[in-house]
Chains A and B, each alone.
Chain A
Amino acid sequence: MRRPLLLSLLFLVLLCTILLSIVIGPAGTPFLDLDQEVTSTIVFSVRLPRAIAAALVGIGLAASGVVMQGLFRNSMADPYLLGTSSGGALGAAFAIVFLNGTLHWVFAFIGCIVAMAIVYAISVRGGRVPVEQLLLTGIAVSVFLSALLSFLMYTSDKSLHQIFLWLMGGFWSVSWSDVTIGLLVLPASLSLLLFSRELNIFSMGEEDALHLGVDTERMKKGLLLASAFVTGISVAIAGSIGFIGLITPHLMRLLLGPDHRFLLPGAMMAGGVLLVLSDTLARTIGGEVPVGVITAFFGAPFFIFLLKRRYAP
């Protein structure tokens, strides 16, 4: 069995990446020239929580990306499709502008969930939610929330920089308490795994899935809820980091095939690896580059490469 082996390898790679990111940083390799106490502070209070948080957010975004692409039967879908990122951004900006940033991550989380809930509520028709309806409503709601965000940014110039930093996404202020919150990603992502067989069948079309015995409405509700939760937590910790949720599923589909029983766990680990690496890079080069810049900088060209490959004869 090739695929279980690959999954175990990915897990090892994830652990190694986290270890690697602990020993790399602007303060140099700490074990050589700093005293014991500073070393342990840097490693255990700064780098370790930051690496674990990045891994958790990567896991969550990739899992949510796989689920969205499966649900929408479209490999262009990502975790932010249904208004979650603009909802989260609006929530955070609200807290930054009106509450001086107090509990902005809670507002970000609430923003994500509320945006998704609005999209879902608008799309329901007689107890059913057609995915096309969700998709289009998601776009409309995103645009609307972005308009509100722009208005908020325009009218409050003193917090503009802070909002802007948040929007780009990053892990610079991460502490152990963020990791604790981030741990919620794990059970939620694992619950997505319960639907992997249904996701496989769903990829043949919604009506086909019904004919094969999948309770599609319950499945959609469960998956959307869990994936909104995971995305919400990720956004609350690190802002809306792009491309991880879009590219990781693609990569893993190349490596592991389309079967969600392998694709989903594979993408979770790969998402963790990619985001930890991106964050390590972000804090190593030129001071503190927002990690969203790194993922977009490498992610977009890579995505184009994948597209070219896909349409090659």
Chain B
Amino acid sequence: MIELQEVDLEYGAEKVLEGITFRSGAGELLGILGPNGSGKTTLLKAISRIVRPSNGVILVNSRSLQEFGQKELSREIAVVPQSSEPKFDFSVEEVVRMGRYPHKERFATEDEEDRRIASLAMEATGILHIASRSVLEISGGELQRVIIARALAQEPKVLLLDEPTSHLDLGQQVSILEMLKTLSRKIAVIAVFHDLNYAAHYCDRLILLHDHRILAMGDPESVFTPERIRAAFGIDVTVRRNPLTGRPAISPLWRRTENGAGGRRVHVISGAGEGADLLSALQNEGYAVSAGVLSVNDTDYAVATALGIPCISEPPFSAVSERAMEELKAALENAHAVVLTRGLWGRGNLGNLHALETSGAGCIVIVDCPSGEGEWDFTGGEASEILERLKAKGAVVTREVPSTLDLLKTIFISRKNSD
């Protein structure tokens, strides 16, 4: 059991962390997160007594960290550093057996028990087959496993890892994290993570560091909000529930560029997922995008809300209501341009087209790129007629997203010049 109470950490004269308070014990995988320089590594170094706190106490099993002898401490806490640099060609097995050092008296020799524990550790990390290879010859991923095996051979109660997957490929990353997850049933595992999704998936609890403090602590669902991630990492993200795992899934949003489109309002009428790439492309260009009316079970609706685009919506499988119609009219009047995807039209969403036709919207772009060759007009021809009338009245037709963006740009530039 590790406990930190109001711990302040300094690096030289520079304050790194202050007021750090938490505890962790067997049975949990605790993730430490934060931007570079937020003190994640320093926090691990404090727990492993490499860095001494300038204030506060760190307790191990209710005893002050400072009271422990070096060997005694190494029987409690094992550390897997971010990288290791072996200099002499010890074999993998010899390095793993170094983990038995804290359990040996000065003149004691290695016995059967040590060999058994070392080989169990190698088995758990999947390196038994390279036991006799030199640590100078193996790959970075294998070396990482060797160091983890060495830490396991210490039989610690607490295992600290600094970015344990940094040198590994995707497959190795997952297998190491699965192994840590299993380990954390018996001992406390505290690891620094760079990848928020791995942390969300594997950790029982997270500590998010920012601005010298703990910004948030708790289970992944409660720690990961777009606001906090924005505060800590300075990027916009969407946080959704991964339907496969029930854990939060974080994806960064592409940074919005400001290239002259700023402030122009574009309303998008789409459906059936056909507007998804258009919505994000428009937002990326810097337009103030609005969307709707969309059914809430439409993919376009999910995309719009994920991107933070205001969206007029209706419950699933219902026709467009009076209220939504009013909102749509207001949005259309407000917009500098309206983009319509050909989409699938039925009685439920036909109201969109009626509203568009009757609105005074001057600049209408129809993106005529059907997702398939099949039927798209389920209104008995009414939708097709409206589209034809719109085209006749001057609506411009494009074929795909990039040309739509170019078209909008030319329209707005010519308009600006004529103003």
* Chain A residues with a Cβ under 8 A of chain B: 73-75, 194, 197, 200-201, 203-205, 207-208, 210-215, 253, 257-259
Contact = CB atoms under 8 A, between A and B. Distances in A.
Contacts of A207: 50, 81
B81 A213 contact: no
15 contacts: A73-B87, A74-B87, A194-B106, A203-B86, A204-B84, A204-B86, A207-B50, A210-B48, A211-B77, A211-B78, A212-B74, A212-B98, A213-B154, A257-B90, A258-B88
A213 B88 contact: no
B382 interface: no
Contacts of A210: 48-50, 70
Contact of A213 (B71, B86, B87, B147): B71
A132 B85 CA distance: 15
Given A212-B74, A212-B98, A215-B70, A205 B79 contact: no
B189 to A, nearest CB: 15
A211 B74 contact: yes
Interface in B54-106: 70-75, 77-79, 81, 84-90, 94-95, 98-99, 101-102, 106
Contacts of B147: 208
Contacts of A213: 70-75, 101-102, 154
Given A194-B106, A207-B50, A212 B87 contact: no
A200 B98 contact: yes
Contacts of B88: 73, 203, 253, 258
B410 to A, nearest CB: 60
Contact of A200 (B78, B90, B106): B90
Given A211-B79, A212-B150, 12 more contacts: A200-B98, A201-B101, A205-B85, A207-B50, A210-B49, A210-B50, A211-B48, A211-B81, A211-B151, A213-B71, A258-B88, A258-B89
B102 A257 contact: no
Given A258-B90, A259-B94, A212 B101 contact: yes
B152 to A, nearest CB: 12
A214 B101 contact: yes
A221 to B, nearest CB: 14
Nearest to A258: B88
A140 B220 CA distance: 53
Interface string B36-54: 0000000000001110000
B90 A212 contact: no
Which of A200, A201, A257, A258 has the most chain B CB within a 10 Å cutoff?
Answer: A258
Contacts, number: 68
Nearest to A263: B88
A71 to B, nearest CB: 11
Contacts of A201: 98, 101
A74 B87 CA distance: 7
B263 to A, nearest CB: 54
Nearest to A126: B52
A205 B73 contact: no
Contacts of A197: 101
B79 to A, nearest CB: 4
Closest 7 CB pairs of A and B: A213-B74, A213-B102, A258-B88, A213-B71, A211-B79, A73-B87, A215-B70
Contacts of A73: 87-88
B62 to A, nearest CB: 21
Contacts of A204: 84-87, 95, 98
Contact of B99 (A194, A200, A212, A214): A212
A266 to B, nearest CB: 14
Nearest to A203: B88
Nearest to B110: A197
A161 B102 CA distance: 55
Contacts of A203: 86-88, 90
B257 to A, nearest CB: 44
Nearest to B45: A207
A174 B50 CA distance: 49
A201 B77 CA distance: 17
Contacts of B50: 207, 210
Nearest to A219: B70
Nearest to A212: B101
B49 to A, nearest CB: 8
A194 B105 CA distance: 12
Nearest to A198: B101
A105 B415 CA distance: 97
Which of B90, B99, B106, B151 has the most chain A CB within a 10 Å cutoff?
Answer: B90
Contacts of B71: 213, 215
Contacts of B79: 211
B78 to A, nearest CB: 7
A226 to B, nearest CB: 16
B48 to A, nearest CB: 6
Contacts of B154: 212-213
B84 A212 contact: no
Contacts of A212: 74, 98-99, 101-102, 150, 154
A75 B89 CA distance: 12
B258 to A, nearest CB: 46
Nearest to B90: A258
B272 to A, nearest CB: 57
Nearest to B150: A212
B89 A257 contact: yes
Contacts of A200: 90, 94, 98
B55 to A, nearest CB: 17
Contacts of A253: 88
A136 to B, nearest CB: 18
Contacts of A208: 81, 84, 147
Nearest to B108: A197
Which of A194, A197, A200, A213 has the most chain B CB within a 10 Å cutoff?
Answer: A213
A72 to B, nearest CB: 9
A244 to B, nearest CB: 20
Contacts of B86: 203-204
B159 to A, nearest CB: 11
Given A204-B95, A205-B84, A213-B101, A259 B70 contact: no
A205 B99 CA distance: 14
A259 B48 CA distance: 27
Contacts of A258: 88-90
B118 to A, nearest CB: 13
A142 B266 CA distance: 75
B246 to A, nearest CB: 36
